[in-house]
Amino acid sequence: MPRNDKKMKNSQLYKGSLNTIIMKLLEENGKMYGYEITQKVKAITQGELNITEGALYPALHKLEAEGLLDVEIEKVDNRMRKYYKLTEKGTTETVNRLSELEDFIRNMQSLVNPKLEF
Amino acid sequence: MPRNDKKMKNSQLYKGSLNTIIMKLLEENGKMYGYEITQKVKAITQGELNITEGALYPALHKLEAEGLLDVEIEKVDNRMRKYYKLTEKGTTETVNRLSELEDFIRNMQSLVNPKLEF
DNA sequence: AGTTATGTATAAGAATCTTATGTATATTTG
DNA sequence: CAAATATACATAAGATTCTTATACATAACT
């Protein structure tokens, strides 16, 4: 009963990156459901990043409301799953977001590792 | 009179990274004042990241309140400058923050560029 | 004389996230 | 078999960080 889950301690740095992560995973995997996304992220980052439901589900709903995702409900093993996939608009937008992410990472590296400027 | 400044359009991705940026710049430059930080960041990122005063000054005040920064006021050219520098605690914490940033960047790259996993 | 640059500051509101719940079924474990 | 864990979605309250809009003040440029 005690929802005693592991305290996450995700660095503040991840703030703002959730939408990009979701969209990239969907671009790569075609369709995914929420819980699957949390597990995938945990696996890829070797447990370093745990998406919380309180962040994930509102984010999915918002992306859907913005027309970037489509949803499709399935019942598997008597349990509900909501599969999300990118719309056409979402696919286009994903390209932009990934480009922004590259710029962001490049800029952060310039700020933090000025010796590497060339 | 109209503070008609350029609209910044900073990507959401930068959210959460300002403290790390400030601390790294101070570690590198010894002491800096707020306006100087905004100009330095703009220069290093070639105009791509513009720190707004509304974000910067509260962040500096908070870091000071947390004991990570010390402040020293100077009057230059009849204008006030508040120079900030890392405290001992701040220097230690900067190491942690930079380490977190490296982890963050590595994790984001794993998520976004899965082919590079090895 | 008016705009831009330099310099700091705060308040209102937006956006995103954490934490804490709530509901429900399936599976594993003591 | 009862309890805990895993699977699965959802929302609300509050924290944090940021944008936007001001405010004040001096210096320099046009």
Here the CATH number for the domain that contains residue B101 is: 1.10.10.10
Q: What pLDDT sits at residue B1?
A: 44
Q: Domain for residue B1, yes or no?
A: no
Q: Distance from residue B56 (CA) to nucleotide C28 (C1'), in Å?
A: 51
Domain total of chain A: 1
Q: What pLDDT sits at residue A10?
A: 79
Q: Domain for residue B68, yes or no?
A: yes
Q: Domain for residue B107, yes or no?
A: yes
Examine the pLDDT at A1 and tell me if it is beyond 50. Answer: no
Percent of chain A whose predicted confidence (pLDDT) is above 70: 90
What is the pLDDT of chain B when averaged over all its residues?
91
Residues 7-26 of A with CB under 7 A from strand C: 7-10, 14-19
Q: Domain for residue A11, yes or no?
A: no
Q: Cα separation of A71 and A78, whole Å?
A: 19
State whether the Cα torsion B1-B46-A19-B22 is positive or negative.
negative
Q: Domain for residue A87, yes or no?
A: yes
Q: Domain for residue B118, yes or no?
A: no
Give the domain range for residue A106. Answer: 16-113
For the stretch B42-98, pLDDT in tens is 999 999 999 999 999 999 999 999 999 999 999 988 899 999 999 999 999 999 999
Q: Domain for residue A58, yes or no?
A: yes
Q: Domain for residue A3, yes or no?
A: no
Q: Cα separation of B89 and B91, whole Å?
A: 5
Q: What pLDDT sits at residue A2?
A: 52
Is the CB of residue B96 less than 8 Å away from at least one CB of chain A?
no
